[in-house]
Amino acid sequence: MNSDQLNSDSAGWRARKWRPAHGPVLAPRVLSTLCLALSVAVLQGCTDLLLPEAPGAEDLLEGPIDDLTAEQRGAFLRGDAEFSRTFSELDGLGPIFIAQSCESCHAGDGKGHPLFNITRFGKWTGTEFSSMASEGGPQLQQRAIRQYLGEVVPPSSNAIARFTPPSVTGLGLLEAVSDADILANVDVNDANGDGVSGRAHWADSTELVSASIARSAGLSPAANRHVPINGKYLGRFGKKGRVVTLLQQTTQAYIEDMGVTSELLPHDIVNPQVGTLAHDDVADPEVPFSVVDRVTFYLRTLRPPPRRESTHPEVRTGEALFVSTGCATCHTPSMRTGKSDIAALSEVQFAPFTDLLLHDMGADLDDKYTEGSATSAEWRTAPLWGLGLAEGSQGGTAYYLHDGRARTLRAAIGFHGGEGSRSRSAFNALTAAQQEQLLRYLRSL
């Protein structure tokens, strides 16, 4: 592939699209993933709907960030190929797993359908929480290769959560924000009295965390990122904000989601019901570090979700209401990256609509399950960018919140309790017309 091809615009990444009666464009690989999960018949129906026209850049999540070098765009393509790769038993899939490829859960790089929800579980004994590691926890791998058994949630578990796969776009920008900028919004004791008390999730310095930071040093050279405090590192990824780096997240996804071992996590996970002799026949590690690194680079350089209708008067009015109702306190509209040796990620202003902190969201969103130092009611503020494209990546119907329980934005707002209750009340106090303006703003993100 020559440099001209590598530098083609984002619309060239996908040649065909499907436009539903209502909602954004779906890239073909989004459709194929969802259709395979539903039925062959549905696949045929979806295929008939594909139109031979290029999608607009404002309607697609896929594509690299602007201003990558030709070499970096080549690396992006190689990472994209690995992200799309389907694993089999011959490649080291399993012995227990959830999915056979990265994109089967993150179709088109967007938010996944609840069909692909992951299940995590644990057990409370009094005030002590156990991840039930000796019984297969905390993540359920319900599928297995031939001659093995998939896991089931142990009967003694009393804390179960289901997580909808998140969009993976724009993650490199979030990783490039300095620790100091994130910590500047911490307000544990609510000193300003706004009802919001964001808290940092300090993750333990495990062998994987330390190795991922060391291996990520070339892409995160700034001294004010990934700085340990009292032996712990600031988490910024994951529903509970426990994951420190994208390399850590990618390494864990290979083993926990696909059962594929790599250099940093070189041992198969097994179903305790089968025992420690359960393993596949492929020598560990099943993929070299270079494969995981390619996917990590791909995730770092995926462009952020594009905005739509940002200049529309109704959207601008909705933006002002978003601020006045307090939504912007947690869903911070603006962040800035620090220095990076990927120039396209260096000192960039961007709008993720998250503060990357933990917030207590009240009883309705308390699944009793937790991770690290987060309470069961605490969740990392979900980035809102790409919200208006969720229907496209989820098959034509949107599923909001961590488990997809809310089918509309209005319902998602209604689930906000705890630190989100003031904003929920402020939204409910708006006129019907104002509420629609705010919702239209959210759909423009």
DSSP annotation of 89 reads: G
Look at residue 194 in the predicted model and tell me its pLDDT. Answer: 93
Look at residue 147 in the predicted model and tell me its pLDDT. Answer: 84
- Mean pLDDT along residues 246-257: 98
Q: How many CA atoms lie within 13 A of 91 on its CB side?
A: 17
- Mean pLDDT along residues 190-196: 93
66 vs 271, residue with greater confidence: 66
CB distance 379 to 364 below 8 Å:
no
Strand segments (E) across 347-424: 349-350, 358-360, 378-380
20 vs 241, residue with greater confidence: 241
Look at residue 160 in the predicted model and tell me its pLDDT. Answer: 98
* Percent residues over pLDDT 70 in the chain: 84
pLDDT of 2 above 80: no
Domain ranges across the chain: 3-77
Which helix (DSSP H) or strand (DSSP E) does residue 324 occupy? helix 313-324
List the structure tokens of 170.
């724009």
Cα distance between residue 136 and residue 333, in whole Å: 39
CB distance 278 to 148 below 8 Å:
yes
- Mean pLDDT along residues 191-202: 95
pLDDT of 66 above 70: yes
Confidence of residue 225 (pLDDT cuts 50, 70, 90): confident
pLDDT of 242 above 90: yes
Query: Exposed, middle or buried: residue 76 (CB in 10 Å: 0-12, 13-18, 19+)?
Result: buried
**What is the Cα gyration radius of the chain?**
21
CB distance 412 to 401 below 8 Å:
yes
Confidence of residue 277 (pLDDT cuts 50, 70, 90): low
Which helix (DSSP H) or strand (DSSP E) does residue 252 occupy? helix 246-258
Torsion sign, CA atoms 296, 331, 425, 434: negative
Look at residue 59 in the predicted model and tell me its pLDDT. Answer: 60
* Percent residues over pLDDT 90 in the chain: 77
Confidence of residue 341 (pLDDT cuts 50, 70, 90): confident
Q: What angle do CA 419, 203, 372 make, to 5 degrees?
A: 60
Please give the mean pLDDT across all residues of the chain: 87
344: left (phi over 0), alpha (psi -120 to 50) or beta: alpha
Q: What would the pLDDT profile of 33-53 be if each residue is shown by its tens digit?
A: 444 454 433 333 343 333 334
- Mean pLDDT along residues 89-96: 95
Query: Exposed, middle or buried: residue 57 (CB in 10 Å: 0-12, 13-18, 19+)?
Result: middle
Q: What would the pLDDT profile of 373-394 be if each residue is shown by its tens digit?
A: 999 999 999 999 999 999 888 8
List the structure tokens of 226.
């990934």
Look at residue 366 in the predicted model and tell me its pLDDT. Answer: 98
